[in-house]
Each structure stands twice: as C-alpha cells, then as structure tokens.
Structure 1
Amino acid sequence: MFEKVLIANRGEIACRVIRTCRRLGIRTVAVYSEADAGAQHARLADEAWPIGGPRPQDSYLRGDAILEVAKKSGAQAIHPGYGFLSENADFAEAVEAAGLVFIGPRAASMRKMGSKAGAKQLMQARGVPVVPGYTGEDQDPGRLQIEADGIGYPLMIKAAHGGGGKGMRIVRASEDFAASLESCQREATSAFGRDRVLLERFVETPRHIEIQVFGDSHGQVIHLGERECSAQRRYQKVVEESPSPFVTPDLRQRMGQAAVEAARAIDYVNAGTVEFIVGPRGDFYFMEINTRLQVEHPVTELVTGLDLVEWQLRVAAGEPLPLAQDAIERQGHAIEVRLYAEDPSQGFLPGSGKLEVLRLPAASEHVRLDTGVVEGDTVTIHYDPMIAKLIVHDADRPRALARLREALADCEVVGPKSNIAFLEKLVRHPEVVNGTIHTAYLDRHLEDVLPKEDPLPPALLALAATACLLHDEDATHARTAASPDPHSPWGIADGWRLGHGGERLLSFLYRGERLELRAHGSAGDYTLESGGDTLRVGGAAFVAGRLVARVGDQQQRVRARADDQRVLVHDGDQRFTLERVPAFLFDEADAAAGADRLTAPMPGRVVVVKAQPGQAVEEGQELLVMEAMKMELSLRAPRAGTVAKVQAAEGEFVEADAVLLTLEEP
C-alpha cells in the first residue's frame, strides 16, 4: 500500500478520498486553487499546496503543476477523483512517466474509452448493441448536417469527450440542427477543451442504467451491480439508486456480463462504469464507459458494504481484487440525491455565496453525507455548485424513500438558494415512488415537480410565530443570565407592560406579502391575532428537535427553526420559510422594476450578443448568451420593445446584476 497519496481534485470527492486514506494510515496531499485556499479538502489533508488561479484551466486542469507538487511532497500516487483530469489519458500517461502511480485505468484504456465516439465504435465491433448514429472524425458542419438528416430526428448531439450532462443537445427538426451544433460545440470547448461531437438517434423514453465494474492487474474483472439514474433534468442525474426497481435478475445478469466483457475488451483496471440506455421492454444499448469513479458510487457502497475508494487504492498498489464475482453480496436499497446551490424557480440557475446556515441530518447507519463544505464556507462561481450528497439506505425501497424524505426535511440552506424543496417534491412524485420515471420525464413535466409557495395555513403561521416567540424568549433569558444582574425583572421575557397585558408584534414576509400577528402571553402559552382571526397556542415547547404545541383544539408536532432573520416550519410534506421583517421597514416591490433592462443573473462571460441598438424584439426573444459555472445561460427580452443600448460585448466578463442591455421606454 502507498505511504502518501496526492488528490488531484477538490470538493466532496477530495474529502472522501482523504478520509479513506486516513482510515488506512495513508498520508494525503491536497492541491488547491486561489479560490479554495480555505476549502475543506485543503484543511483535512496532511499537506496542502497551491497550484494556481481560481479558473480550472489555471489550477485543477494543470497537470504539470500537480505533478510538480507530487514530486516535491514525496507522494507515490495520484488519485484524480472525478471531473477535471480524471479521464485525461495524457495526464495518466504523464503520471506514469514521472514514476508515480495513477489511481485509475491505464492511459491506453482511457484513450479507447475517453472518446464517446471511439468507445461506441469499439463496442459495435465486438457485437455490443449500440444506438444508431455517427461517430466519425469528419466534423465539418455540412457533413454533420448530412449525417444527422440520414440518422433521422429526434436526434442527440453529444460532446465526444464530455460527461456530466454537459455538451448535449436534442434536435427535433433538420432546420434546428446548425444552431444546436454551434451551441453544443461552444459548451464542449469550454467544459472539456475539445469540440468534437457525435450524433445518435434519440430514444424517447429510455431508462439510464449503469453497471459498476472493477478490474485488477491480475486479469480479474467483476461487476458490483447496477445503479438506476433515470431521474434526470437536461441529462444531469437528479436521483440515483441501487438496485434498479426495473431490472430483473435475468436482465441484471445479462447487463452485468456485457459490462464485464466491455471492460475486458480494453484490459480495464480499477473502477469504471458502463452506462446503458434501456428500453421499456428491457432492450439495452451501450452508451459510454466512464473511466473513473462516479459521483453516485455511494449507493453501490451502501448496498454492497464495500469501500470503492479503498478498492481503488489497493488495486492501484498492485493487489488483486479483494472479492471474486460470486462473493459480491447486495443487501437493501440505497438512494442518493445531490444538494445544489441553485434556484429551481429560475431554470435551476447556479448560485454562489456564503453558506450562512447549513443544516444537514445527522449521519447514521441509515443516512450518509458526502460534502466538501461546512457552514460559513462559500460556494464559488468557478466550480460545480454542489453542497452535499445525501445518501440513505434501508431494507427495501419504500423504507429507503421514507428515510430520504425525513433526511431532506432536516436539511436547510441559508445564503445561496438551494434545490432542497425541489428534491422533497420530486421524491414524493408518483413516477419516482412507483419507479417508473424515464430520462425524458422531468424535462417534459418539470412544472409538476417544481416547488410552489402555497398559501400558508393559519395553524402553520401560528406555529411559525410560536417558534419565533420561544426563540426570542430564550435569547432574552440568555442575555440576562450573562448580564451583571441575572435576576433583573427586566430580563423576564413575558412582554409585560404596566397597566395592560403584554403584547408583541411579529411581522413576516412570505410570497412577497407581509403577514402581521399580535401576540399575548409567554413561555409557550399565547394568544395570536392576525387579520381579525384569533388562535390560541398552549403548551408549546421544543421536544427532541420538534416543536410540539396545541393550536386551538389540535395537538401539532412539526419541524421548526427560528432565528432573528427567519423561521422555517416543515409539516412533514413541505417546508415554509418566512422572513422576519420590521413592520416599519417594509415596502411593496415595484412590479415594473427591471422591465426595461436585461441584467446578468450571476457573474460570467458573455459569449453571444444577438441584439443591436434600434432592433425590435419580442418578449422572450433570446438577446444574449452567457457562460457561467460550465453552462450556457440564455438571456431573453423581458418584454416586447426596441433595443436602446447594448452594454456588453462578446468575450466580456460581467459581474452579477450588471446591466447588459436596455430597451427604449414604451
């Protein structure tokens, strides 16, 4: 085994590898960019070395800088994690040439699989079923248009060197092909440094099922079962689980054998994933091989009880696989979701900023958390905005889903917006609960699962107010206890006033409206007045992390958390968050604000400008395209009108809220 390993990555995967190495007694070396100087992976490692600027191409994609750190630190091996250089054959070869061990497949195997086009050709030659398409090297747009027309529509354009849902477009008509091709190539160049694409017939309602494979340098190759990844939005996996609710024992055996044969065909060593498109009747087609550990590998670990990172380290050190195929056992059901800093209501726009509050469920035998951030850290604009992976495990799928719903309800993010409410609604959706979702479902029915701010039931408003009152009383008691006069009568938090009963005014902002309550009472017994209605709350207290109270004639038990700025109440199915605001500072928002201008939703680079002064535009017409966080953002006209001024140029980097274009006054 190695004495010291360098992790050429960041975020939760770097933290994950560091923890496994620590358990095995292996010292670790982290590398970090300027933006990650205080990141958790740099803090957790035994050593941490800077390697460049915040942009990936200035740091985590600099193989030469990483190798230099490996030599100076005395590391014997490099673990690439996933993303960045993990599937870069040139880097793997350079690591080997430097006398170090690359913890992953050989460069020769990666070169065969690193290109989706090459992988598809190889599998087709060996008789593995593949989807009809074009994988040729001739990338002339005219040739690609001819090939696309020959394959037929709907058709998918995919970055040949891509992954993670980047550089993919569906084209449904010949006249839309050229524009989609240009957009796909721009995104592929930005994310992967290469613009080569391949074309495939698009299967309308497929499942995405992948097989985890593992090979060693002694000629052994096995598989560890399947993962279902069919819940996707724009080719990004949203829910991953194992085993698949669709796969039968016979299909599992056939897909597992096909995956092992695919790995053997390229002399595969270490961890890899063979991905298949699976039709409604169980017909499956090779899609690609990811020559690295996958983001969703924890679900396989939980159902097999194995540590795949430990396996990676042992295999890279020359050891044989710890278990043979017939010794692999799978128990229970595991499900993973990813918590992102993004805004589902705004097209899942990636977010950034300080994590002012980050509450996650406690880890247990049923709940696992993989994260690279803690409360107080910053989600930067330069990298993927993932906050954490939440993985649950139980005896069967219904119980695992119940665990997941409970765990999500315990999550809270304050700072950048998050996708927690979206995930909560998604895992309750019948298509997920019944295990019938396919890869196109969310893109076609997204409105069905987007969270909506429903009207706040009076009882929940009363409970929100009660949580705030209890919080404020506790804070007053704490301040009094720490004061020079801890027994002062002025420290009694009962709202008492001379000559009349105590009254406190609570003001909230919810769905853009102000909600005001007048509260009488203290210590968990209150009379609340709002809009002419009166509610009485009795016996309120926090018990085992839940707010328990009698509202009117009903006993209530809910999750509730309050501070000076906000209060969250969760009724078991959905969350309600109210901002606490002073009544005298509240102003109605101007509905017309921003209707005459187009602003940058986040920091990024302008890649396309499609408007010019004097041009007449329609509401919703695409006027600019920005690139941020490895994705393209389409900026559209807020209303019909005439362009007055364009204040951004192609290639220009702009800050969030910068005015990019203005329209003439109506």
Structure 2
Amino acid sequence: MQASNNYYLNNPMVHKDRQLAKSNTVWTRSFACNDLKPLIICRGPIRKEAMDVFDEMGIHHYGILLSEKDSITYTNALAPELRTLTDPDRVHRVPDYTGATKEERIRRIQQIIRIAYDNGYNAIFAGYGFMSEDAEMVESMEKAGLNFIGPCSFTQKSAGMKDQAKRTALETGVSVTPGVNNATSLALFAKYGKDGLDKCAADNNLSVDFSSCKDEEEKALVLLAASYDAGIDIITAADIGLALQVEAKRMLAEKPNNRFRLKAIAGGGGKGQRILQAANSYEGATLEEKIEKAAENVPSLVQECLIELKTNGVGDNKNVLIEMNIDTTRHQEIQVVGNGEWCMTMGGRDCSLQMHEQKLLEVSVTEEELEAAITAADAAGKPEEAEQLKKDLVILQRMEREGAVFGEAVKLDSVGTFECIVDGESHYFMEMNTRIQVEHRVTELCYKLKFTNPDDSGDYFIAESLVEVMVLLARHGKNLPKPTRILREKTSVEARMNATNQALQPHAGGVIENWSNAIIGEIRDDQGISTHNPDTDVFMKYHLAGAYDSNIALLLTTGETRLSSYQRLAEILRRTELRGKDLATNLEFHYGLVHWFIGNGINARPSTRFIVPYLTAVGLLKEQANQIDLDVAYAEIRQRYVSADSESNAAWLAALDAKKLLLIRPLERLFAEPHYMAGWLSMNKDSLNIVDGKLQWLVNPIELLDKLYHYLNMDFELGKPARYMIWDHDHEILNSAVNFYKTLNEKVDAADFPALEALLAAKKAPKGFSADEWSAIRSAHAGYFAGTEVLSVLAYIADKTGFCELSVNADLSITIPDRLTDESLQKRMAKVLVPPPAAKSDEVLAASGGMFYPREAPGMDVFVNVGDHFEAGDTLYIVEVMKMFNKVVAPFAGTIDKVLVEGDGVIIKKGQPLFKIIPDEKIIVETPEEIAEARRVKTVEFLATLK
C-alpha cells in the first residue's frame, strides 16, 4: 500500500472504525456535523489536517483564511492547500492573522467575523495557531453567534491565562511550580498601597464594585480587569519589572544556585519566556552582590517577554510570572478531553527533547507501554530500570488524575493539554494549553475514543482524530456521553521537521525542490507541500516563507515498543530525501538523535536541558573531524603497505587505489554531517577498542562499512543518481568482501572478529582447509582488509572528544559531562556546527535572515549608533526569525563606524553587511597553508594509533 500524508483517509483500520461511526441508527445519526460551515483561521500542517478531517466527516463547505505573510508577500510561498482547494470563493485573505498591536488585533477579529457573516460560515476553527488561545477573540466569536471549535471563552479565561490557571490549580489541589503569579497586583500595591485602590479607581474614572471581594488581592484583580476593559494603564511594564525585581531578590536569596523562569501569561510555544540566571553564576564578593547583579536583569527580561508577545501596549494585561526553573526537569503533558460536564484523559506525551522552549521530538507515555517495559526490564535483569519505570507509571497516573480534575474545574468543553514538569518522583502543573497541540497525533495514534449510547451498549461510534472530537464537542457538546479510550498502539513518536541549521538555529527562506514520497509506516503532516501536481505527478517547488514559525512537517510512526517506534522513525528519516536551494532542515539532527537513543538506551529520561549539551558534543565531533585530512591519512596507510612488502608494490598500489573512494566517500559524508556521525558512533561504540593508545577492531570493518553505506542511504540501486549511492565498481568490491567473510565465518570456528583475526594470523591451516586453500584465504583477507584502517578514524574522533561519556545510566538517568554544560563551549561549538558568514575584519554580517530591529521596542533608543564603542557580548541588534526574537551580540570589541541598515522591521538576508566597525584589536586570519599544516599534524597523531 502506498503511504500517504493523510493517515485518516488511507489507514484501513481507521476506515473499519469509521464505518461503525456511519452505522445507520438514530442515535449515531444524531451526532452528524455536516451542517457546520467552518472558517479555518490557522496555518501549517493543522490547516491541511482540518481540511482532510472535515471532508471525511462530510463537512465540505469550509473556507480557509490566508495571511499575506503566509501566502502572498513571499514569492512562490502560496499556501500548498490551494492545490486541492481551488474554489476562490472559499479562500479569504487578511494582512496578518493577529495584527501588530492590540488595536489592530481587535480590528482583525472584527474583520474575521465579517468574513464569516458575508460568506455564510457558522463556525471557526483556529487549530493550534496564534488565535486559538485568545480569550478575547473567542468571546467575540461567541457573541457574534459563531461556533468556536475549541474551548469556550470561560475555559480560555480560567485556564488559558497562566496566572489564573495557577490560582485554579491551587484551589483544586493540583501541584504547581513554586513561584509568583501576581506581579500585576504586587506592582499595583507598590504604586498605590493596599489602601489606595479605591483612590486609584477614582483617579482613573474606573467604575469598580469591590463589595464582593474577599481580600485586597481580589480587589486588585477586579481593578486591573476594569483597566484592561477601559484600555488604560494604571501600572506600566516598568512597574511590573520593579515589583518582580523585589520578588526575584527574595527567590535568588533562598535558592542562589537555581535559575528562574519569567513567563508572560499569554505566552505559549516558548514565546514570551526568559530565563533569569542563578545568583551564583555572577561575580561578586558576597552573595548579596551576586543577587543584585542577577536581579538587575529582571526589568529588561520582563520587557522582552511582553515585546515578544506584543502585549506591551496601553491596556494590555502585562502580568508576568516568575517560577523556579527546575533544570533537571522532564516536560510531560496529559491530553485532556471534556464537554463542560465530564472530563477524561488520553495518556501522556514526553516533550523533554526541546531547545529554546521549542519541542523537537515527542514520544507517547501510556500505561500499557510502561507496564510492558517494566516486564521487559525485569526479564532482562535490569532492576534499576524497572524501578524507574514503575515510578514513571505512578507519576503518569497522578498527572492523569489531576488533569481530569483541573479540566472539570475550568469546564473544559473541547480538547486541551495539562502540562507538567517532572522532577524525580515529583511533578508540578505548569500550564494548560486550551487548544489542540502540534503533537496531538502522538496521542491519537495510541488511543481512540468510543462513544456509547447510554441506553444500548451495542450502539456506539468511534473517533480516531482529535480534530474530529473537537468538531463533535463543538456541535453536540453536553449531548455527548463520556467516552472510553481504546488502545490502538502502545507507542508513537513524532519528529518535528523544522527549517533550522545544524546548530538548530532558525533558517528563514530556502526552496524545497524535491521531497521523496512517504514510505509505508510513515505518517507525514506537511501542509500539503508534498502533494504532487495532479496532472503531471511532478513535485512542485515550495518556498519556505518562515514568517511565523520554522516547522515544515511532522513525521510520525508507531510501534509495539518504544524501541520499535524509534527504529521505524529512524528508517523513515534514513529514506527521506529532501533537497533544495538554500535549504537547511533538522532532518540530520533527528537522524543522529534517534540513533543516539537506540544505541544508548531507548527508555532514557532526558531533561529539558539535554539538547544543548548533546549539540555541544556533536560540535566537538565536527571540530575534531575538521582537523583530519582523509587524503593524507589514506596516502600514509597506502605507503605503509608498500613499505612493508616492496616485492608486491604494484599489487598493493592497485588494490589500495581501487578501494580509496569506497572507503573515503562515506567518511567524507560523516565528516560533512556531524549529526550522522553522532548517530553512527552511538550505534557502533562497541565496534572498536582502544588499548594503550592503539585501536583494535571488535567487529569486522568490512561488515561495518557495508552497514555504513546503508545507514547513509547510499545502497546500490539501479536508476539512482550516482552521487547519492555507492558507485557500481565499489559496490562490486564491497559485495565480494562481504560474501567472502560470510562464507568464511560459516566454515571456521571463531566466536568474534578478534578470534577470526587471530586465526587468520596463523600460517598453519586449521582443520578442514588445505595449506593452499588457507594461503589463498589469508591473501584474500589481506587484500580485503587493506586500507580499512582509515575507518578507525571514527573511533579515534569519539575517543578524543569523549563523545561516549554522554551516556545513559542503569536507572535511566543521563550522565552529561560537566564540560558540555559550559556556556562558552556551547556557543563556540554552535559556531563550529554552523560557521558564521565570512566577513572582513571591519564589518558585522547578518548571522541569519529575518526582520532586523535596532532597538528593544518602539520608542526606545537603538542599541548602537555611529561612534559608539561596544564590548564583546554587547547587544547590537535583534532579529525576528520564525516567530522568535533573538538578540545578536558583538563577537568582539570595537567602535561603530557606519550603520548599513536603517529602520525597524527591515528584512535582511544571511551574510548581509549590517555594520562597518573599527575593531579594538587586529584580527589574525590563518592562511590556507597554515590550516593545511595544522590538519596534517593532527592526522599524523591519528595515524600513530594504528597498529
């Protein structure tokens, strides 16, 4: 069966269940939804998924809303969904989904309502987009008589805002992260005093009824709400920053080794969040001095949180939370479903593998999988692993119970996510996402929901899609009985394919020119990008605009065990071919990371801080590889054979020259793709042994070479371009060698490769071989083996960098060497993975494309002017790329000679000159000859390890 990017329409098991849903009974027919006409106001994979699910449900009169940033402004970035939705009357456009300011956001909401009215839409679907958790927008839709397919405005207000959600959690007995959630109240008290709230209301002409308030905190909340409604500021962002600075000093003093997280209440997906570093990370003679230095940053961090969310305008709710940042934490979340009366859960997801709050790899956490893993660990004699898995099962059950309780408390009437952080045997509620999440498929691939007629247990229907469940809840709400969850698969895993470079930094732009078809077992959500031309079946090029986020696609698969799901994902990634112009994605990263877990321990428990040290380790591999000259190494190995057997020079030269590219080509690929090298070393770390500085093979290098070509997707295939596979003559040599050792292993008694090597070292023929046969075998072995020494450079690099010290312990914790947590090394290795654009010594170039901002926020001073002196580490500008604001700091000290970009929000390209500068010190650049000599010296060091 040809795999497809639409799971629901092509999976036969889904069709089997959907036929039950279509069964012709009065009760099942009563839950039809085909009278809905939704307007889809989101983008990305969820928009295409919604279109597919709506079509399957018989909802055919939906429309889609396109933003100009999404579809028009960028050449060739037209929404690929239009390849299937060709009716222009169902396609609508706005300049931007949310607008740049509060006023523009309000106008946009009204514009969307008008579009719905004018075109006969009666429902709104916002997916996991920017407007899906906008309580003001949802309330406006409800007042306009539109059916919002998602949580209602009451739930949005109760759970969507992080401060209110924490208050609700505390009231319902849900464990929460220690911190402060009432910064706006504290700022109000600091400015007016607790006794001055009435005067504040009067001075600002706010009509407020305090009679029902039980304490000053409630009075402050009521007063603040009135100010938001009136569109005025009774406190400013600066006031909030000062209030949080006081709280931060107290928290830093209590826990000087802890970092703290600041979060704007309306944030999500990593936006509007900043980290306050631990007090003890600052220089100072006393703890008080360190605390003061740390706390100095709080006001500016508050500003950054608000600016990033565009909630720093007059009348915006500017509340920012500060919480203890548990650095050893795992990020887990529970899928919650409710209809406003009942609430139930659908297992969990582990989202700990993330960077800059952006999730990268997500895996299911189910009771069934954990129970099976516990049984397997016990059977394998791994008591520590089994014990940890049992603890994980208990934590999952607790989180599911609390998730259902919290969902009921906020009257959840759709799908939502109960997000937690897990620290040891404790867990803390973090926030509830009042929307469907990007990773929702991870859950729905493990569970489906069975809705049963309360009066007839044989009358039921089954829903497999959470989008379908959202539609059912929006249309039928409290008429829906509480469903039961049914296991589909024990495990599932999702890799987010993003437009990022090898250091996982956003890479705006780029054109996808070819994308291989999905394979069997692959579930691909890609916004329809890989939909071929319906007439010619040709892939249509796609320009990645990158105006909103870096996600290109979601790649998912399932398995009976976590190991089998990761192995399937590894095969999907191996066979995915994605090529284009100026294109950078994280496919290589995912391929290496998945193999790291397969090689080290699939049940490992990484924390949210794992990825950066892991990237640093990969950077060290790249740095070491850059120092090795493979041509020099192979030439020296070749010369050693010639020198050792001068009588057979011609034969050795011919054999070694014929094999050079067979051996060097895959190594060059690994050197160029350090993430591939990381995965390969993780899978094969026990193939070589280093004794007294000498390398010894534990596995036949010919077998490893054959596996390496497969690992790199360079297998010989007729019709495949030669540049992407092993060359035919090399294939013949390798195939002959593999068959030789396979036959030999069947005929001799050797437990492993070292035993086989010892046997072949003896001239005397073993039993079953004549002297001539054995001599020929030994000669063939020498010929096949010659030159394979160069492959040991991989083990040499792993040893020199200590790559394998990043490892999984018996209790499933991960040992991260201290050096990999050094911030200066982390930054240096990011530059090794992605070298900055080559610049003259008197200029600063754009490290990436995006939107250039010379100042923190409108109305504020620019970071640098002509004539300003700056130090290394000072901020020069901000670049907004893929929805995130990134401060760019000076790599060295100097003086601004000329500013080459003027204005706010100017589009810049990677490598574009931004500033002319006068450096404080002359920058010394190595010559090509000096670089070559340094590589030769390092290569000689490697060669010294060969026997």
Taking structure 2 as the reference length, the TM-score comes to 0.55
Q: Alpha-carbon deviation of 1:192?
A: 5.0
Answer whether contact 2:339 2:480 (CA < 8 A) is retained: no
Higher mean displacement: 596-605 or 230-239: 596-605
1:230 is matched with 352
Q: Alpha-carbon deviation of 1:330?
A: 5.0
1:351 is matched with 508
Answer whether contact 1:161 1:192 (CA < 8 A) is retained: no
Q: Alpha-carbon deviation of 1:271?
A: 0.4
RMSD (CA atoms): 3.3
Aligned residues, how many?
A: 558
Structure (1/2) with the larger strand percentage? 1
| C-alpha distance after superposition, 1:551-587 (max 9, x if no partner) | 2631299xxxxxxxxxxxxxxx9xxxxxxxxxxxxxx
Q: Work out the CA distance in 2 between the residues paired with 1:556 and 1:53.
A: 62
Give the partner amino acid of 1:57. G
Show structure 2 runs of 5+ residues with no match.
1-32, 73-77, 188-238, 253-257, 280-290, 313-317, 371-388, 449-463, 531-539, 635-664, 673-714, 738-793, 795-834, 856-861, 923-947
Residues 432, 271 of structure 1: alpha-carbon distance in 2 compared, 3 angstrom cutoff: farther
Q: Alpha-carbon deviation of 1:595?
A: 3.3
Residues 43, 83 of structure 1: alpha-carbon distance in 2 compared, 3 angstrom cutoff: same
- Decide which structure has the larger Cα Rg and report it: 2
| C-alpha distance after superposition, 1:326-379 (max 9, x if no partner) | 54335321000111111133x5133213222333533x3x22001113441221
Give the partner amino acid of 1:124. L
| C-alpha distance after superposition, 1:269-315 (max 9, x if no partner) | 0100000111112x111100000000000111111142111111111
Q: What are the residue-to-residue correspondences of 1:138-153 with 2, within 5 Å?
A: 138=187, 140-152=240-252, 153=258
Give the partner amino acid of 1:231. L
Q: Work out the CA distance in 2 between the residues paired with 1:344 and 1:405.
A: 18
Answer whether contact 2:508 2:882 (CA < 8 A) is retained: no
| C-alpha distance after superposition, 1:361-416 (max 9, x if no partner) | 33x3x220011134412211421121100011111111111111111122224232
| C-alpha distance after superposition, 1:79-110 (max 9, x if no partner) | 11112110111111111112120011110111
Q: What are the residue-to-residue correspondences of 1:79-478 with 2, within 5 Å?
A: 79-136=125-182, 137=184, 138=187, 140-152=240-252, 153-171=258-276, 172-173=278-279, 174=291, 175-179=293-297, 181-193=299-311, 195-217=318-340, 219-243=341-365, 248-281=392-425, 283-305=426-448, 306-319=464-477, 324=482, 326-345=484-503, 348-359=505-516, 361-362=518-519, 364=520, 366-372=521-527, 373-374=529-530, 375-411=540-576, 412-415=578-581, 416-430=583-597, 433-449=602-618, 452=622
Is the partner of 1:162 in helix, strand or coil?
coil
Q: Work out the CA distance in 2 between the residues paired with 1:14 and 1:203.
A: 35
| C-alpha distance after superposition, 1:477-508 (max 9, x if no partner) | xxxxxxxxxxxxxxxxxxxxxxxxxxxxxx99
Residues 620, 89 of structure 1: alpha-carbon distance in 2 compared, 3 angstrom cutoff: closer
Residues 301, 617 of structure 1: alpha-carbon distance in 2 compared, 3 angstrom cutoff: same
Q: Work out the CA distance in 2 between the residues paired with 1:591 and 1:329.
A: 51
Q: Alpha-carbon deviation of 1:433?
A: 3.0
Q: Alpha-carbon deviation of 1:606?
A: 1.0
Q: Work out the CA distance in 2 between the residues paired with 1:165 and 1:590.
A: 25
Give the partner amino acid of 2:852. R
Is the partner of 1:70 in helix, strand or coil?
helix
Higher relative contact order (CA 8 A, sep 6+): 2
Is the partner of 2:297 in helix, strand or coil?
helix
Q: Work out the CA distance in 1 between the residues paired with 2:165 and 2:327.
A: 22
Give the partner amino acid of 2:267. G
Answer whether contact 2:498 2:551 (CA < 8 A) is retained: yes
**Percent identity, aligned pairs only?**
28
Q: Alpha-carbon deviation of 1:135?
A: 0.8
1:605 is matched with 852
Structure (1/2) with the larger helix percentage? 2
Answer whether contact 1:7 1:29 (CA < 8 A) is retained: yes
Is the partner of 2:99 in helix, strand or coil?
helix
Taking structure 1 as the reference length, the TM-score comes to 0.76
Q: What are the residue-to-residue correspondences of 1:475-486 with 2, within 5 Å?
A: none
Answer whether contact 2:332 2:422 (CA < 8 A) is retained: yes
Higher mean displacement: 381-390 or 283-292: 381-390
2:38 is matched with 5
Q: Tell whether 2:64 aligns with 1:30.
A: yes
Q: Work out the CA distance in 2 between the residues paired with 1:414 and 1:187.
A: 35
Q: Alpha-carbon deviation of 1:650?
A: 6.3
Q: Alpha-carbon deviation of 1:652?
A: 5.0
2:191 is matched with none
2:121 is matched with 75
Q: Alpha-carbon deviation of 1:628?
A: 3.0
Is the partner of 1:446 in helix, strand or coil?
helix
2:81 is matched with 41
Residues 232, 177 of structure 1: alpha-carbon distance in 2 compared, 3 angstrom cutoff: farther
Is the partner of 1:355 in helix, strand or coil?
strand
Give the partner amino acid of 1:448. A
Q: Work out the CA distance in 2 between the residues paired with 1:5 and 1:74.
A: 9
Q: Tell whether 2:842 aligns with 1:596.
A: yes
Q: Alpha-carbon deviation of 1:452?
A: 4.0
Q: Work out the CA distance in 1 between the residues paired with 2:146 and 2:566.
A: 43
Q: Work out the CA distance in 2 between the residues paired with 1:81 and 1:386.
A: 15
